[in-house]
Chains A and B, each alone.
Chain A
Amino acid sequence: MSVEVEYSIYWESFRNGDKQALFDLYNSLYFQLVRYGLKLSADDELVKDSINQVFLELWEKRERLTPVGNVKSYLFTCLRRNMLDQYSYMSKTKSVINIIAVEEEQREMSYEEILINVQQDESLKRRLHEAIQQLTPRQMELIKMKFFDGLSYEQIALSTSQNIKTSYNIIYDAICFLRKTLKKG
């Protein structure tokens, strides 16, 4: 069964009042939604809050919902709209410009940008920026797959056509370096 079919089943079930199906859908799509949201805005709290609002609203109006063809992209759209609403509500003008630019250019933030932008501590931001520049492109690619995309070592090995041990070692070395560079204080 493809995941899209699975999402559709959850969708139909919670429309009919099965609350657990809503939570199952949430569990299946949470990280995908967070990652999508983070690419639009570096305010991680706002992203997480918007996701919960979207699901809360879906549950509230479940009886008025209709079947949708692609549940995942429907939810992405809901999230984007909810984030925009929240922004205009809070009138965080600076961020609004950022997100509007995203709407117009279809430009998403890169992993490196997101990593730095979600941090509030200026000194950490700076150290993170310097540390990232010292990592090799390969190390950076694998770190993103592991910690941002949430892939397993096995999946990483498969998609980069190397063995699991090698993928682990590349990441391990990068982590040792980052631990030293980003040390607190």
Chain B
Amino acid sequence: MNFTKYKSEDFACDETFQKYCLGEGNESTVFWESWIQANPDRQDDIEEAKRLVNILSAKQGRKINQLNELQRAIQQKKLFVDVIDNLTNESKKNTIKKNVIVKFIRNAGGIAALLVIAMGIIYIQRARQKSTISQLHVQPEIKYQATLQKKTVLLPDGSIVVLNKNSTLTLAAGYSAEFRELKLVGEAYFDVKHDEQHPLTVHTASLNVKVLGTAFNVRAYPGQHKIETALIRGKVVVTMNDQSQSPIILKPNQKVIVEPPSKTQEQPGAYKVSNFAVMPIVMDPVNHKAEETTWTRKRLQVVDEPLESIAKKMEEWYGVNIVFANDAVKRYRYTGTFEDETVPKVLDALQLSYPFKFEMRRDSIFIK
């Protein structure tokens, strides 16, 4: 169907366009979103058609946006309840501490009043939670920086990111398993926890990468003009911030390179994307692995070494802190060779032959 000759009334009368306006039906939404991006000269007609549909539907709203809001509200509510639980637990702890103090300073009256006020605040907050759901305190932005050494980080949703040197990763405020938005400056390899309902989006200076569950590499250093996205497995959608291109869907072992028009432009984010190319990933002839991700890999060979010294090597190579909660485990001895593995996978393999427990939290691993 040729929509380029459509006027606003044609759009408004089109059934799939109406669905798109009401945020109903994935197919219609994806189609019209990319059509609109690809035809910026039709902006005025599209806006007028949207306005007509909005008026005549009596502002019924976009279902998809409303649903996202509900999902976010449920998530925020959970965060809120967690915060309240922590507060309550802390005030219980304080009660015990203060009771001890009371015995010494014999000033029970004042302390009790204080406690009552504290509990009162918690109750008021509980009572208010119903009406302030949308203004809840959300977990603030979290920033991870790798300067001289690369760094492996576990995100709250279970995804693993290997940050290359001189790179910064910022998790959006409120990042969680259900809200996965982050910003990247530099280069990183992503191993994303699969969740079709909640896509993870990586924002860079000039493009966004939306993924469902997959492994891919993004290179977006500020000084460097080229931005590269390479997909190892799964499926990702790449969109340009300036909407100069329709979204690009990458297949495994493909990469897209985006270049600015001239090398004289120095402001990242301000440049227009003039050139982009989708091409196959170059495979290393020896190990058949993608060259794009060589920097994330390291051959780790251990011959009858205690875990303590293996951990030292891993700390250095993978840029992760390893903490032992149990001294006996330090002396466990292992032999093996690991290639192309992320730290959690190496540890998982090690503990098979001589069991221990480990837990990854942000950029540290705790071994028990």
Binding site for B on A (CB under 8 A): 19-20, 23, 26-27, 30-31, 34-35, 38, 44, 48, 51-53, 55-56, 59-60, 89, 111, 114-115, 118-119, 124, 128, 143, 146-148, 150, 152-153, 168, 171-172, 175-176, 178-179, 182, 184
- Could you say which residues of chain A place their CB within 8 Å of the CB of B61? 34, 44, 48
Give B61-84 interface residues, CB cut-off 8 Å to A. Answer: 61, 63, 66-67, 69-71, 73-74, 77
- Could you say which residues of chain B place their CB within 8 Å of the CB of A111? 58
Across the interface, B58 reaches (CB within 8 A) one of A26, A146, A148, namely A148
Give B29-52 interface residues, CB cut-off 8 Å to A. Answer: 48, 51-52
* Contact across chains for B67 and A148 when beta carbons are under 8 A apart: no
Across the interface, B22 reaches (CB within 8 A) one of A150, A168, A179, A184, namely A150
CB<8 Å pairs between A and B, sample of 12 = A23-B71, A34-B61, A56-B73, A118-B59, A124-B55, A150-B57, A171-B13, A172-B13, A175-B9, A175-B12, A179-B8, A182-B55
18 additional A-B pairs beyond A23-B70, A115-B55, beta carbons within 8 Å, are A23-B71, A27-B67, A44-B58, A48-B61, A51-B66, A56-B74, A56-B133, A59-B74, A111-B58, A114-B58, A146-B18, A147-B56, A150-B18, A152-B15, A172-B13, A175-B9, A179-B48, A184-B51
Closest CB in chain A relative to B84 CB, distance in Å: 13
Closest CB in chain B relative to A168 CB, distance in Å: 7
Closest CB in chain B relative to A20 CB, distance in Å: 7
Task: Give A34 to B63 CA distance when docked, in angstroms.
Answer: 10
- Could you say which residues of chain B place their CB within 8 Å of the CB of A52? 66, 69-70, 73
Q: Kindly state whether residue B215 has any CB partner on chain A within 8 Å.
A: no
When A23-B67, A30-B67, A44-B61 are in contact, do A148 and B56 touch as well, CB less than 8 Å? yes
* Contact across chains for B59 and A27 when beta carbons are under 8 A apart: no
* Contact across chains for B12 and A30 when beta carbons are under 8 A apart: no
Task: Give A124 to B73 CA distance when docked, in angstroms.
Answer: 33
Q: How many residues of B contact A (CB 8 A)?
A: 32
Q: Which residue of the partner chain A has the closest CB to B53?
A: A147
Across the interface, B56 reaches (CB within 8 A) one of A31, A51, A115, A168, namely A115
Q: Kindly state whether residue B131 has any CB partner on chain A within 8 Å.
A: yes
- Could you say which residues of chain A place their CB within 8 Å of the CB of B267? none
Closest CB in chain B relative to A48 CB, distance in Å: 5
Q: Kindly state whether residue B2 has any CB partner on chain A within 8 Å.
A: no
B interface SS class = helix
Task: Give A13 to B309 CA distance when docked, in angstroms.
Answer: 50
* Contact across chains for B55 and A56 when beta carbons are under 8 A apart: no
- Could you say which residues of chain A place their CB within 8 Å of the CB of B77? 56, 60
Binding site for A on B (CB under 8 A): 8-9, 12-13, 15, 18, 22, 24, 48, 51-53, 55-61, 63, 66-67, 69-71, 73-74, 77, 130-131, 133, 197
Closest CB in chain A relative to B244 CB, distance in Å: 28
Most buried by A among B60, B63, B73, B197: B60
- Could you say which residues of chain A place their CB within 8 Å of the CB of B12? 175, 179
* Contact across chains for A175 and B52 when beta carbons are under 8 A apart: yes
* Contact across chains for B66 and A31 when beta carbons are under 8 A apart: no
- Could you say which residues of chain B place their CB within 8 Å of the CB of A44? 58-61
Closest CB in chain A relative to B185 CB, distance in Å: 34
* Contact across chains for B67 and A172 when beta carbons are under 8 A apart: no
- Could you say which residues of chain A place their CB within 8 Å of the CB of B67? 23, 26-27, 30
* Contact across chains for A38 and B60 when beta carbons are under 8 A apart: yes
Task: Give A183 to B272 CA distance when docked, in angstroms.
Answer: 34
Closest CB in chain A relative to B184 CB, distance in Å: 29
Q: Which residue of the partner chain B has the closest CB to A39?
A: B58
Closest CB in chain B relative to A72 CB, distance in Å: 17
Task: Give A56 to B12 CA distance when docked, in angstroms.
Answer: 33
- Could you say which residues of chain B place their CB within 8 Å of the CB of A147? 18, 53, 56-57
* Contact across chains for B60 and A34 when beta carbons are under 8 A apart: yes
